[in-house]
Structure 1
Amino acid sequence: MTQALDIRPDPALDSDARYRRLLAILRTLDGALVAFSGGVDSSLLAAAAKDALGERVLLVTARSPLHPPSEAQFAKALAAALHVDHRILDTLELDDPAVSRNDPDRCYHCKRALFSRLAEMAAAEHLASVVDGFNRDDRDDYRPGRRATRELGVRSPLEEAALGKEDVRALARLRGLPNWDAPARACLASRVPYGERLTAERLARVARAEAGLEALGFTQLRVRDHGLLARVEVASADMDRACQAPVRAAIAAACRAAGYTWASLDLEGYRTGSLNEALAPPRRAR
C-alpha cells in the first residue's frame, strides 16, 4: 500500500515567473481533464491545474499492461494528497492490432484511442479542455503520439509556458511534489523493438526485470526486450558499479528471475528512446 504523501509548497513558488506563466495559461481554461500518469510532468501540471482552477479539475490515469501497476498506485496517492478528483481508466490497447503489432507509429494509435476516451470523459464532466504533460524538451525525440493529441485538440500547458524538463523539476520541487527528482518514465511498449509483437506477458517480463534492478539500487534504467535477451541500460554514473562482478551477477539473476535467458549491459548506457535509433532518418523527422 502506498504511504500517504505530505505536500508542502515552498513560499518561493509564488514569486517564480515560470509558475505564474503556467498558472496564467491554465486560468484561461473552463475546466481541465489532466492526463495523469503520476510522472513529474503530469504531476506538476495536476498541481498547477488545482492551483489555477480549483475544483474544475479531473485527473485520469490509464491502467493497462503498458504501465507497471505501481504507477497507478502512486498516481492515486498523489491525487489524494493534492485533494483533486481522480479516476482510473482501464484501457485495452493491446486488443488493437495497430498497437500490438508495434509498428513505428504505434504510439499514434495508442494515444489516439486514449485521448479520444479522455475527451469523452471531459465532455461528460463539462470540462472544456484535455491537457497533457508534454514539455518543450519532448520535441527532441520521435513522438508519433504527438500528432494524435494535436488532431484531438489536446492542450500542452507546459510547452505553451516554454517549460523544459529542468524547469519542470525545479517547479515540482518548489511545489513540494515528492517525485520532483524521479527518473524519467515511458510506457513499457518502448522497451520492445518496432515490428515485434506486444503481448501482456512480454511487457510484464520487462516490468519484473526493471523492478528487480531497482531493488539493486539502480534508478535511471531501462530493460530493452530482445526476445530471450534483456539489454540493460543504466545511467552513465552507475556503469562502473554495474560492471563489478558481484553486481553483474545480480543483474543477470534479476533478469533470469523475470523470465529472460540472457542479460547484456548496453555500453552506451541509458538514453531516452534508444530503440528509435534503428529508425531510418526520414521516419525520425517530425
Structure 2
Amino acid sequence: MRFGDDVFGDDQAAVDRVTAQLDGIGRLGVAYSGGVDSATLLGLAIRALGPARVLAVIGVSPSLADDERSAAHDVARFLGASVVEIATHEGKRPEYRANGPDRCYYCKDELFTRIGAELCERHGLDAVAYGENADDVVRQDRPGARAAVEHRVLRPLADAGLDKAAVRRIARAMNLPCADKPARPCLASRIPHYEPVTAEKLAQVEMAERQLFRMGFADCRVRHHGDVARIELPEADIARATGELRAQVHDAVTAAGFRFAAVDLAGIQSGAFTLPLTVVTR
C-alpha cells in the first residue's frame, strides 16, 4: 500500500526519520510478529522502499500462538508484504528452558541467528530491522535488545524517537488492523522465572487463552502456576469473568489441563514476572 506525506500529522517528522534510516538499503528484512510495533515498521518500510524490497520474517516455535501467527499473516496481506516463516529452536537452548530473567535474550538471539547470513543471502537482504520502540529502550525487562545489538539489527522506530503512543497513531493513520491491538507477549512470558519452559506448558497456556478470547475478552494473560492458572484480565472484564461467565472460564481453564482457575484482581500486569527481578532501586 502507498501512504502519502499528509496522513501522519504531527508524527510526519518522525516518519521521515524512519525513512531516512532506510535510505540506501537495497532489500530489508523485518523481524515480524504481527504486533503493532513490527507491523508499523513493516508498513513504513514498504512505504519507503516499496513492497518488492521488503520481506517480513516470522519466527515460528511453540511460544507463538497459532492465532497470533494467523493474524500476522492477515496484517501482512493488508500491507501487501511478502512473508517468509523460519523455524526457531529456542526451546532446545538450556538457558532459555531455565527461564531466568534473561530468557528473552536467548529467544531473540535464536531468532536473529536464524535470520542470519544464509537467509539474508537467499533472499537478497542487505539489512534486518525489528520493531523496538522508544519506550522499550528505557525498560529494564527487555534483555532481547542486547541480542539485537550483537547481531547488528536495526531499530528504526526507537532511533526515530517513536514511543508506543506514536506508533499506534501512525498505525491508525495507515489503517492497520492491529493499530489498537493489545500487546501479546510470547507464551513463555506466562511461566514464572526459574520454572522450566516446556512445550506442554506453552500448549496449556495457548489453549486456555484461545478459549478466553473466544468468549469475547479483548485481552488476557493466563499465568502458569503448576495446577493453578492465574488469569489476568482488563479491570473492566473481571466482574464478567467472575460473575456471568464464571463457569465457562473455569471450564476453559480446566479443559487446558489446569486443576484450578484464579482470576487476579490486579488485572493485566505487563512484565509481571520480569520487572520485579530487573528493576534497579536507588
Same fold? TM cut 0.5 = yes
Q: Structure 1 residues 157, 280: closer, same or farther in 2, change over 3 A?
A: closer
Cα distance in 2 for partners of 1:194, 1:90 equals 24
Q: Structure 1 residues 189, 151: closer, same or farther in 2, change over 3 A?
A: same
Q: Residue 13 of structure 1 aligns to which amino acid in structure 2?
A: V
What does 1:23-172 align with in structure 2 at a 5 Å threshold? 23-54=19-50, 55-120=52-117, 121-139=119-137, 140-172=139-171
Q: Residue 73 of structure 2 aligns to which amino acid in structure 1?
A: K
Cα deviation, residue 26, structure 1: 2.2
3-state secondary structure, aligned to 1:13: coil
1:163-213 Cα distance to aligned partner (Å, 9 max, x none): 111111111111111111111111100000111111111101000111111
The match for 2:277 is 279
Alignment of 1:210 onto 2:209: yes
Contact 1:62 1:72 in 2 (8 A): no
What does 1:169-184 align with in structure 2 at a 5 Å threshold? 169-184=168-183
Cα deviation, residue 263, structure 1: 0.9
CA RMSD of aligned residues (A): 2.1
Q: Structure 1 residues 247, 9: closer, same or farther in 2, change over 3 A?
A: farther
Q: Residue 84 of structure 2 aligns to which amino acid in structure 1?
A: R
Q: Structure 1 residues 8, 85: closer, same or farther in 2, change over 3 A?
A: closer
Cα distance in 2 for partners of 1:243, 1:8 equals 46
Q: Structure 1 residues 180, 233: closer, same or farther in 2, change over 3 A?
A: same
The match for 1:3 is none
Contact 1:119 1:130 in 2 (8 A): no
Contact 1:256 1:262 in 2 (8 A): yes
Contact 1:38 1:74 in 2 (8 A): yes
Cα distance in 1 for partners of 2:115, 2:102 equals 20
The match for 1:13 is 7
3-state secondary structure, aligned to 1:275: coil
3-state secondary structure, aligned to 1:147: helix
Structure 2 spans left out of the alignment, 5+ residues = none
1:94-139 Cα distance to aligned partner (Å, 9 max, x none): 1111211212211111111210221322244332211000101113
Cα deviation, residue 18, structure 1: 3.1
Q: Residue 211 of structure 1 aligns to which amino acid in structure 2?
A: R
Cα deviation, residue 82, structure 1: 2.0
Contact 1:191 1:223 in 2 (8 A): yes
1:201-256 Cα distance to aligned partner (Å, 9 max, x none): 11010001111111121112111000110001111222332332x22222212111
Contact 1:222 1:270 in 2 (8 A): yes
Q: Residue 277 of structure 2 aligns to which amino acid in structure 1?
A: L
Structure 1 spans left out of the alignment, 5+ residues = 1-6
Q: Structure 1 residues 13, 20: closer, same or farther in 2, change over 3 A?
A: farther
Q: Which moved more, 1:10-19 or 1:192-201?
A: 10-19
Q: Which moved more, 1:12-21 or 1:91-100?
A: 12-21
Contact 2:190 2:223 in 1 (8 A): yes
